[in-house]
Amino acid sequence: MPIDVAAMGKSSRTFHRDPQTVKSRPLRDRVLELEAEGEWIVHRVPEPYVELENKFGRVKKVPLGHTWHHKSCGQCGHIPGYSTSIFWLHRKLGLDYRDPRDQTSCTAWNYYASATSNSAAQAAVALRNFAAAYETGYFPLIHCATSYGHYKEVREELLASPQLRGEVRRIMEMMKKPMVMPEEIVHYSEWVHAARHQVAAHKVLDLSNIVATVHPACHYHKLVAEDAIYDPDIYGGQRTAVVTATLKALGAQVADYSTWFDCCGFGFRHILVQRDFTRSFAVQRKIEVMKEEANPDVTITHDTGCVTTLDQSQFAARAHQRKVGIPVLSEAQFCALAMGAHPYRVCQLHWHNTETRPLLEKMGIDHQARWREFEADVERLKRGEIEYLTWEDADA
């Protein structure tokens, strides 16, 4: 019997969390205790920040500006319009940020794929990046959900193990860097969520006819689940509110589908060396189900691996006449488009695989004219008239 998705979404149950009833101690308290004991410095969330509710109903502080952007290797490497859109949004909203060179990847993609590392190395990589952020005074904002999830894991391991803290301290001393733990581990989609009303206030497109499905990223809401943001007004507080609340604030329609909890099929090692699994899962459990049950104009997600997997996996499926053809964007790109960003200079949609032009048309964006502008930019680069495209060029 087919699943009645509409009925699922009509549940009248709304969950209001009472943090007093949660048995585990707040992570932030434990982080601050270790500071009081002299174990590390806690990098405080800078003002102004927005107070959001996490899964247990506890307050999570999300900074609006003065952020150190912990970039994602998969976003910057293969879907660079993702990171560019995050920066562009900051610039348009007049928020101060740093895009550091003193940053490595969290290296967790490799760790989850190959296990050629260990707890001490992973914790040292995390704390090296945290220290680099602290030294600039800017607060880490983490672009990748896997980095975010992994750093939350690392924080738990460090909180639980004096021995691990000792090992990492020894390494940090060799690097002459301080032991620093941020007061909160913040994913960029939490920042978008916190800034969504500002984004909506700047939107230049009417999105009321756009139907979107949402894929919540596993490492965002499943791995150390406590940190994820929930809101009783979004899905009755039963699923994470990030992404969905942003789309609603922008006036788009959010359509539901029955396999929303499933992962995308990325698999870390699978996407690189065993893609038959990735393709099958992404198409059969996600894209085809969305198509069948919601027929969206776009699917929106908030992580590197999810955009890559859901987008790239559709090519081979199309050759097999499967029901595919849903463009995949991050909410950062969708917000940027809504605020009038250039689809190619800023959102860099030419790096995506599944056709985005019908979506752009429906959003009221003249993609032909915008593509011609981008092609002209590339010609100027080739002729040596400009060395790089600048932020000023992007908005010209």
Partner 1 sequence: MGCETSKYAAVSYEEKLRLFEQVKGDERFAHYLYGCYECGVCVAVCPSARFYDFSPRWIAQALAREDADLVYKFMNEDVWDCSQCFSCDKCPRKNSPGGLITILREVAVRNGLKSAKDALEGYGRIIYKIMSTGTQVAPDMLQPAAFPDWGPHVKEISENLQWWRRALPPETLHTTETSWDVSEQTLRELYLIWHVTGVMEMIKEVDEGLHMILMDVMEEKLEEAGFDLEATEED
Out of 99, 206, 292, 366, name the contact with partner 1 by CB under 8 A. Answer: 99
In the complex with partner 1, the residue whose CB is nearer, 294 or 349, is 349
In the complex with partner 1, the residue whose CB is nearer, 13 or 176, is 176
Q: How far is the CB of 97 from partner 1 (least distance, A)?
A: 11
Out of 74, 296, 327, 343, name the contact with partner 1 by CB under 8 A. Answer: 74
Q: How far is the CB of 197 from partner 1 (least distance, A)?
A: 26
In the complex with partner 1, the residue whose CB is nearer, 129 or 183, is 129
Q: How far is the CB of 252 from partner 1 (least distance, A)?
A: 26
State both tokens at 175: 């690097």
Cβ pair 285, 200 in contact under 8 A: no
Residues in a beta bridge with 255: none
Q: Does 371 bind partner 1 (CB under 8 A)?
A: no
Residues 16-55 touching partner 1, rule: CB under 8 A, are: none
Q: How far is the CB of 223 from partner 1 (least distance, A)?
A: 4
Q: How far is the CB of 249 from partner 1 (least distance, A)?
A: 25
Out of 54, 246, 330, 348, name the contact with partner 1 by CB under 8 A. Answer: 348
Q: Which stretch binds partner 1 (CB under 8 A): 105-113, 226-234, 330-338, 364-372?
A: 105-113
# chain residues binding partner 1, by CB under 8 A: 94
In the complex with partner 1, the residue whose CB is nearer, 45 or 185, is 185
Out of 59, 201, 381, 396, name the contact with partner 1 by CB under 8 A. Answer: 381
Residues 236-295 touching partner 1, rule: CB under 8 A, are: 261-263, 265-270, 272-273, 275, 277, 279-281, 285
Q: Does 357 bind partner 1 (CB under 8 A)?
A: no
Residues 184-203 touching partner 1, rule: CB under 8 A, are: none
Out of 189, 299, 301, 312, name the contact with partner 1 by CB under 8 A. Answer: 312
State both tokens at 283: 């198409």
Cβ pair 53, 26 in contact under 8 A: no
Q: Does 222 bind partner 1 (CB under 8 A)?
A: yes
Q: How far is the CB of 307 from partner 1 (least distance, A)?
A: 12
Q: How far is the CB of 284 from partner 1 (least distance, A)?
A: 9
